[in-house]
Amino acid sequence: MTLLSGKHVQLRRVEPDDYPAIQTWQNDPEVFYWMDYEHAFSLDDIRRSEERACTEGHPFVIVAEGRAVGRIGLNNFRSRDEMASLYIFVGDREVRGKGYGIDALMALIAYGFDVLNLRKIELWTLAHNERAIHMYKAAGLVEDARIPERSYKEDGWADHLVMSIDRDSFSRTRTSYGI
């Protein structure tokens, strides 16, 4: 069942039937590297992390072209600060680079401000993830801080960026995006 819609994608609840696809996506080297995961995922790991995501946050499957293509969600809720963190990956290689990422991102951020009444949404990204940072900036996120040498990758130490968006900045980008 669709819960949220962008211009091209829908976001729906994660179902147990999605777990094998999520396992494949999260173990795909391109997703694994950029999501900064540390260990390969078993199906049981996926089940446990999806169950935790449901109790601690708002996880969604991204649906495009009639099928599940990725995951997006909000977690790390801090009610005192009216904040949460977001994460996203388009797992299906066939549909990466078609603009579905930004569409899912806009729909999720709108949900965070309109329905969950958040004040601010934050994320961490590897500082050399140019594709993701381009997308985040297009949605209106700004760089708040750089965390040096945060992760050890196979090619050396990597910095992270902390990025965030508030309600006013989003109202400007959503008007020009048209959702």
Ligand X SMILES: CC(C)(COP(=O)(O)OP(=O)(O)OC[C@H]1O[C@@H](n2cnc3c(N)ncnc32)[C@H](O)[C@@H]1OP(=O)(O)O)[C@@H](O)C(=O)NCCC(=O)NCCS
Chain positions contacting ligand X, by CB under 6 A: 30-31, 34-35, 88-90, 96-102, 125, 129-132, 134-135, 138
Query: Which residue is at the shortest CB distance from ligand X?
Result: 101
Token representation of residue 110: 């709108």
Of 66 and 79, nearer to ligand X (C-beta) is 66
Of 79 and 178, nearer to ligand X (C-beta) is 178
Cβ 20 to ligand X shortest distance, Å: 18
Q: How many residues does the chain have?
A: 179
Residues 6+ apart with CB under 8 A from 153: 33, 126
Buried b (16+ CB within 10 A) or exposed e, 42-68: eeeebeeebeebeeebbbbbbbbeeeb
Cβ 100 to ligand X shortest distance, Å: 4
Of 79 and 154, nearer to ligand X (C-beta) is 154
